[in-house]
């Protein structure tokens, strides 16, 4: 395997791994809220933490999912013009978008690191309910998620640049179909 | 050269006439050389991120209350208003205008990267419920929406509290997700049309004014202002704060007859609440030496007023 | 810095965003790039911090917790086998009537809509299950395709609805109130579709022939088939009952829904590791998309408002001397046009922060406007060139149905949707009656 391909396999693999790991948070979300409902209506003992905890799980889950979505080309885009441009035209557009995107994401990373550091510095806590959990862990999720998206953004940029300059490479994502309806779902339904 | 300042309040459209007067006053007094770009609650920055936004220069002046940033600035909760801390606007003003407390606030907000500009005083902050309440005992079987400080005091009596965003209050109250809320005074409840779903207003006699407001500025922006502009702003902000307080006071006084049915918590219960609040006071005092000094000042005042032994 | 003409700011921000979108930039990238660029050039570094505060606001909101869970629920239901059961039921019950299967398809769509928060669930599964079955029985292919696409779009008008949750987050309306407001217009639209199908089949019985007599079922068999309604009925009652009856917040109800959908899948013997992994990963992918657009769009609109452009453009519209209703109609026309080219989430994020303050200033009920918006998005799913249900249908339809068939089949239903929209514009009570009864 050539170094470029090896890098792409590695980077796609990282985003994939993170996505698979955090996908469990969706079950955790259901669990926490069901627990609260049972505690409140059947045991008459509402928790003080379920609402804020589920909000935090939601925030971490969805933000961290960004890199996984990018790896599977799941971020909504308008393909009205893009779709008729051809591979080189697409590569040109992607190069422009993902290089400006990289700069903007680096700014985002710097700001979010400061945001989290400020929270750590004062050991910030939440004041919404009597639970008063610390806020610095959830605020630390922001720079991590942005960092993961930056890494995947670099892989997208590299793919676009290589295609633009006509440099041949093996894309590990080659065989993946781009369809509006998930092929897995189609198979499952047709059975 | 016109100077424009991004001013963000936590109030919504309800104080628009007061805000227009404030903007015009600044513009006129400065012959148009100082302008206020005014933003209502939630328009630019969520209220609980005001302190951060003003320290970084996203906003130039914020108008919020200490509860929003109490997780970041140690004295936030105390200055917003702890149950039992004061019983009248005059008393609250005397505390905040004292040399000692004023310097604590200046110091705390300087550490948070902001400039402390001044205070505003809220008004009634009591309980609204669907069913009448005659005692604390009544509340133990109900779900009440309350935030941190008050929630802690209620928790002390085993009264369950929930946190809900303000936009969900109406539906939650009308469908019975909650049985009551502690959110503001009659005028705020009427603004949210809560009187359509819950009619029973119970004075808790716990704290009056029920909250105080704080104005903070971005240090870099503030330093760049001329002395004349600073003076104009300070005066206009003080007037703005007064106007809001008077609007609340008149509004609460003049809510149409029959909108709410008023009751007062028995004196013994109110006294018990104040005692229970002491645990919250002590918890706050333990957060920092500065908080300790602030709480000591509040205790000394409460003793001088004869509310504490 | 801020002395630029608000119209110039508007032009800079929107033009740069549209250029990026035309270049195929992911919407989140397009909005963030033009937002950061405008903020830095027109505001200075201070404005950039809004990016982080918008991020935290989007993460720190209990209302939005319902989004992943309603999506999760829809994905489970799609693969739970519930559609097969329901189609079997209407085949037994209504197969004997001319056009009966078409009417039954609309009913199934409405039932699935009342369980799932998204629109793809019904279109895809009915496209695979009901479409071939109806073609085999001689139904007109354009009538059937159109019915499934239009019926599928009911998914976010009839509550629960992911799009309504996002609208409520942006406009600061109550989720429960919006849900209640969508129910009647959703049922009305379903009714309009059914009447249309029956009329067309009455005029031309060849469009939807009744099943042959030997394929019909006895009364007992029909009665027994009704048991397939029990599970969906319980789930709908639990979720909508919890929200509208005020037993739980919408977010908690969404957890009940997701849990209930898993139970239904288990009852059908379809709950396995394969399904669970598919649902979890697809939810992750969709939420990564939604969260990053939320952040980008909230940030973009705050920069726009912070630069002073939003307010002045709003005032301009108010000063513009036309009857307020024309402003609403102009907004709806904008929605129709945008719907031809853009994704519904893109439209909600770009327009709600700009339109809703104006709607409010004009004195209209924002709940009513929310329903008008959702009704417009129904059409967006059916109008070419960019329409999700067109894409879904193309992916699942058998070969004899061409893309031209799909486009033609959509047209009458888009006209019916516009008729429904006009009714709600003319009679706001269609939307506002139920919330006023429930919550006063
Ligand atoms: Na739905
Ligand atoms: Na469309």
pLDDT value, residue C191: 97
Residue of B2, B3, B53, B167 best to disrupt the C interface, most CBs of C under 10 A: B167
Residues of A whose CB is below 8 A from B163:
51-52, 128-129
CA distance B169 to B172: 5
Of residues B2, B42, B58, nearest to C50 (C-beta) = B58
CA distance B236 to C9: 30
Which residues line ion ligand 2, judged by CB < 5 Å? C 339-340, 380, 383, 386-387
Q: Which of B19-28, B175-184, C194-203, C418-427 has the lowest mean pLDDT?
A: B175-184
CA distance B50 to B59: 8
Other beta carbons less than 10 A from residue B289's beta carbon? 9
CA distance B50 to B72: 11
- Determine contact: C251 vs chain A, CB below 8 A: yes
Give yes or no for residue A177 having a pLDDT over 70.
Answer: no
Interface of C with A in 93-152 (CB under 8 A): 120, 124-125, 128-129
Q: Which chains are within 8 Å of C by 3+ CB pairs?
A: A, B
Q: How confident is the model at residue B186 (pLDDT cuts 50, 70, 90)?
A: very high
Q: Which ligand is nearest to the CA of C383?
A: 2
Report CA Rg, chain A.
21
Residues of A whose CB is below 8 A from B172:
none
Other beta carbons less than 10 A from residue B255's beta carbon? 18
CA of A105, closest CA in chain C: separation in Å?
9
Tokens, residue B153:
């005091």
Sheet containing strand B126-129, edge to edge, reads: B161-162, B144-145, B180-184, B126-129, B200-203, B261-264
Residue of A130, A132, A139 best to disrupt the B interface, most CBs of B under 10 A: A130
Other beta carbons less than 10 A from residue B17's beta carbon? 11
pLDDT value, residue C32: 96
Query: Ligand 2 centre and the CA of C93: distance in Å?
Result: 34
- Determine contact: B176 vs chain A, CB below 8 A: no
Query: Ligand 2 centre and the CA of C333: distance in Å?
Result: 13
Q: Any residues with CB less than 8 A from the CB of B222 and at least 6 apart, and which?
A: B115, B230
Check if the beta carbon of residue B7 is closer than 8 Å to that of residue B36: yes
Note the Cα C114 to chain centre separation in Å: 12
pLDDT value, residue C3: 61
Query: Ligand 2 centre and the CA of C410: distance in Å?
Result: 11
Sheet containing strand B61-64, edge to edge, reads: B34-39, B3-9, B61-64, B212-217, B115-121
Residue of A16, A58, A91, A159 best to disrupt the C interface, most CBs of C under 10 A: A58
Give yes or no for residue B216 having a pLDDT over 60.
Answer: yes
HEC sequence for chain B:
CCEEEEEEECCCHHHHHHHHHHHHHHHHHCCCCEEEEEECCCCCCCHHHHHHHHHHCCCCEEEECHHHHCCCCCCHHHHHHCCCCCCCHHHHHHHHHCHHHHHHHHHHHHHCCCEEEEEEECCCCEEEECCCCCCHHHHCCCCEECCHHHHHHHHHCCCCEECCCHHHHHHHHHHCCCCEEEEECHHHHHHCCHHHCCCEEEECCCCCCCCEEEEEECHHHHHHCCHHHHHHHHHHHHHHHHHHHHHHHHHHHHCCCCCCEEEECCHHHHHHHHHHHHHHHHHHHCCCHHHHHHHHHHHHHHHHCCCCC
- Determine contact: A143 vs chain C, CB below 8 A: no
Across the B/C interface, how many CB contacts are shorter than 8 Å?
83
Tokens, residue C365:
């009920």
CA distance B37 to B8: 8
Question: How many alpha carbons lie under 13 Å from residue C132 in its C-beta half-sphere?
Answer: 10
CA distance A11 to A19: 12
Best CA proximity match to B271, nearest among B136, B81, B123, B133: B136
CA-based nearest residue in chain A for residue C75: A185
Residues of C whose CB is below 8 A from A39:
none
- Determine contact: B70 vs chain A, CB below 8 A: yes
Across the A/B interface, how many CB contacts are shorter than 8 Å?
42
pLDDT value, residue A179: 66
Q: How confident is the model at residue B150 (pLDDT cuts 50, 70, 90)?
A: confident
Check if the beta carbon of residue C385 is closer than 8 Å to that of residue C340: yes
ipTM: 0.91
Q: Which of A24-28, A46-50, B238-242 has the lowest mean pLDDT?
A: A46-50
> What is the crossing angle of helices C250-267 and A24-41, to 10°?
110
Between B38 and A45, the higher pLDDT residue: B38
Give yes or no for residue B250 having a pLDDT over 90.
Answer: yes
Percent of chain A with pLDDT over 70: 96
Summarize pLDDT for A105-118 with one digit per residue, the tens.
999 999 999 999 99
Question: How many alpha carbons lie under 13 Å from residue B113 in its C-beta half-sphere?
Answer: 16
Check if the beta carbon of residue A70 is closer than 8 Å to that of residue C21: no
Tokens, residue B159:
């009264």
- Determine contact: A84 vs chain C, CB below 8 A: no
Check if the beta carbon of residue B76 is closer than 8 Å to that of residue B290: no
Other beta carbons less than 10 A from residue C423's beta carbon? 16
pLDDT value, residue C1: 46
- Determine contact: B191 vs chain C, CB below 8 A: no
CA distance C248 to A58: 18
CA distance C278 to A142: 26
Query: Ligand 2 centre and the CA of C109: distance in Å?
Result: 20
Best CA proximity match to B145, nearest among B171, B174, B173: B173
Best CA proximity match to C49, nearest among B24, B286, B68, A111: A111
Tokens 């047209």 locate to C411
Q: Which ligand is nearest to the CA of C344?
A: 2
- Determine contact: B263 vs chain C, CB below 8 A: no
CA distance A86 to A104: 27
Interface of B with A in 290-309 (CB under 8 A): none
CA distance B124 to B209: 6
Q: Any residues with CB less than 8 A from the CB of A62 and at least 6 apart, and which?
A: C59, C67, C68, C287, C288, C290, C291
pLDDT value, residue B171: 81
CA distance B71 to B67: 8
First-to-last CA distance in chain C? 49
Average pLDDT per 10 consecutive residues for chain C, totaling 440 residues: 71 90 92 93 88 94 90 88 88 90 94 84 86 91 95 92 90 88 96 96 92 82 88 90 82 93 92 94 93 90 81 72 88 92 82 86 91 95 87 85 92 97 96 88
Of residues C2, C47, C60, nearest to B58 (C-beta) = C47
CA distance A52 to A34: 14
CB contact under 8 A, B155 and A130: yes
- Determine contact: A129 vs chain B, CB below 8 A: yes
For range B36-65, the mean pLDDT: 93
Query: Ligand 2 centre and the CA of C376: distance in Å?
Result: 10
pLDDT value, residue C399: 85
HEC sequence for chain A:
CCHHHHHHHHHHHHHHHHHHHHCHHHHHHHHHHHHHHHHHHCCCCCCCCHHHHHHHHHHHHHHHCHHHHHHCCCCCECCCCHHHCHHHHHHHHHHHHHHHHHHHHHHHHHHHHHHHHHHHHCCCECCCCCCCCECHHHHHHHHHHHHHHHHHHHHHHHHHHHHHCCCCCCCCCCCCCCCCCCHHHHHHHHC
CA distance B262 to B128: 9
- Determine contact: C36 vs chain A, CB below 8 A: yes
- Domains of chain C, by residue range, sit at 61-271+307-439
pTM: 0.91
CA distance B46 to A187: 45
B38: cis peptide before it, omega within 30°? no
């Amino acid at each position: 395997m050539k170094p470029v391909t090896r890098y792409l396999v590695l980077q796609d693999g990282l985003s994939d791994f993170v996505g698979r790991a955090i996908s469990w948070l969706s079950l955790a979300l259901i669990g926490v809220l069901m627990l609260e409902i049972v505690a409140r209506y059947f045991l008459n003992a509402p928790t003080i933490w379920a609402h804020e905890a589920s909000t935090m799980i939601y925030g971490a889950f969805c933000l961290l999912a960004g890199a996984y979505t990018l790896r599977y080309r799941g971020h909504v885009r308008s393909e009205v013009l893009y779709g008729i441009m051809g591979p080189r035209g697409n590569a040109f557009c992607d190069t422009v978008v993902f290089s400006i995107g990289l700069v903007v994401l680096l700014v985002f990373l710097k700001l979010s690191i400061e945001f989290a550091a400020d929270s750590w510095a004062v050991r910030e806590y939440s004041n919404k309910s009597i639970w008063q959990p610390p806020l610095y862990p959830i605020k630390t999720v922001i720079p991590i998620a942005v960092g993961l998206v930056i890494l995947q953004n670099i892989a997208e940029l590299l793919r676009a640049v290589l295609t633009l300059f006509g440099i041949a490479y093996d894309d590990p994502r080659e065989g993946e179909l781009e369809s509006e309806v998930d092929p897995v779902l189609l198979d499952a339904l047709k059975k | 050269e016109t100077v424009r300042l991004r001013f963000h309040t936590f109030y919504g459209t309800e104080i628009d006439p007061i805000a227009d007067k404030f903007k015009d006053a600044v513009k006129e007094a400065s012959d148009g050389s100082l302008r206020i770009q005014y933003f209502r609650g939630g328009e630019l920055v969520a209220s609980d991120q005001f302190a951060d936004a003003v320290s970084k220069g996203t906003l130039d002046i914020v108008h919020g209350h200490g509860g929003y940033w109490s997780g970041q600035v140690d004295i936030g909760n105390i200055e917003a208003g702890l149950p039992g801390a004061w019983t009248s606007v005059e008393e609250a003003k005397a505390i905040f205008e004292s040399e000692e407390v004023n310097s604590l606030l200046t110091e705390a907000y300087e550490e948070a990267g902001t400039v402390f500009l001044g205070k505003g005083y809220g008004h009634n902050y009591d309980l609204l419920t669907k069913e009448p309440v005659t005692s604390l005992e009544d509340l133990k079987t109900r779900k009440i929406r309350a935030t941190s400080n008050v929630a802690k005091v209620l928790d002390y009596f085993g009264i369950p509290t929930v946190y809900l965003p303000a936009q969900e209050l109406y539906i939650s109250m009308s469908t019975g997700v909650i049985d009551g809320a502690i959110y503001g005074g009659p005028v705020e409840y009427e603004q949210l049309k809560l009187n359509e779903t819950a009619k029973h207003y119970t004075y808790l006699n716990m704290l009056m004014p029920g909250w105080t407001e704080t104005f903070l500025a971005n240090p870099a922006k503030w330093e760049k202002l001329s002395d004349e502009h600073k003076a104009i702003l300070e005066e206009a902000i003080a007037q703005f704060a007064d106007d809001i307080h008077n609007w609340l006071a008149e509004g609460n006084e003049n809510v149409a007859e029959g909108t709410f049915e008023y009751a007062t918590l028995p004196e013994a219960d109110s006294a018990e609440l104040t005692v229970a609040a002491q645990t919250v006071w002590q918890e706050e005092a333990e957060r920092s030496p500065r908080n300790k000094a602030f709480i000591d000042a509040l205790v000394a005042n409460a003793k001088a007023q004869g509310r504490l032994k | 810095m801020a002395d630029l003409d608000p119209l110039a700011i508007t032009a800079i921000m929107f033009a740069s965003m549209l250029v990026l979108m035309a270049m195929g930039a992911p919407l989140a990238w397009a909005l963030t790039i033009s937002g950061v660029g405008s903020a830095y050039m027109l505001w200075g570094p201070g404005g950039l911090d809004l990016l982080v505060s918008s991020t935290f606001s989007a993460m720190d909101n209990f209302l939005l917790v319902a989004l992943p869970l309603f999506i999760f629920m829809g994905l489970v239901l799609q693969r739970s086998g519930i559609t097969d059961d329901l189609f079997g039921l209407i085949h037994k019950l209504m197969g004997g009537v001319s056009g009966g299967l078409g009417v039954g398809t609309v009913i199934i769509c409405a039932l699935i809509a009342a369980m799932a928060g998204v629109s793809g669930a019904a279109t895809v599964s009915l496209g695979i299950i009901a479409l071939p079955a109806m073609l085999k029985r001689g139904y007109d292919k354009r009538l059937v395709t159109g019915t499934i696409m239009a019926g599928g779009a009911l998914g976010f008008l009839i509550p629960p609805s992911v799009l309504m949750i996002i609208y409520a987050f942006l406009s600061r309306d109550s989720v429960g109130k919006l849900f209640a407001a969508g129910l009647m217009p959703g049922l009305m639209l379903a009714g309009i579709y059914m009447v249309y199908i029956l009329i067309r089949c009455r005029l031309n019985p060849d469009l939807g022939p009744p099943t042959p007599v030997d394929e019909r079922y006895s009364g007992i068999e029909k009665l027994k088939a009704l048991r397939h309604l029990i599970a969906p009925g319980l789930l709908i009652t639990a979720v909508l009952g919890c929200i509208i009856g005020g037993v739980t917040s919408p977010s908690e109800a969404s957890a009940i829904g997701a849990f209930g959908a898993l139970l239904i899948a288990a009852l059908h013997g379809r709950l396995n590791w394969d399904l669970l992994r598919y649902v979890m990963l697809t939810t992750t992918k969709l939420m990564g998309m939604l969260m990053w657009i939320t952040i980008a769009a909230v940030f973009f609109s705050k920069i726009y408002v912070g630069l002073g452009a939003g307010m002045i453009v709003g005032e301009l519209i108010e000063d513009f001397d036309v009857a307020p209703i024309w402003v609403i109609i102009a907004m709806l026309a904008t929605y129709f046009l945008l719907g031809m080219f853009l994704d519904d989430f893109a439209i909600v994020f770009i327009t709600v922060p700009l339109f809703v303050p104006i709607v409010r200033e004009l004195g209209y009920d924002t709940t009513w406007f929310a329903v008008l918006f959702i009704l417009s998005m129904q059409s967006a799913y059916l109008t070419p060139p960019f329409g999700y249900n067109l894409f879904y249908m193309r992916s699942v339809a058998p070969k004899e149905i061409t893309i031209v068939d799909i486009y033609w089949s959509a047209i009458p239903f888009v006209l019916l949707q516009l008729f429904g929209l006009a009714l709600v514009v003319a009679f706001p009570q269609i939307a506002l009656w139920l919330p006023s009864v429930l919550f006063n």
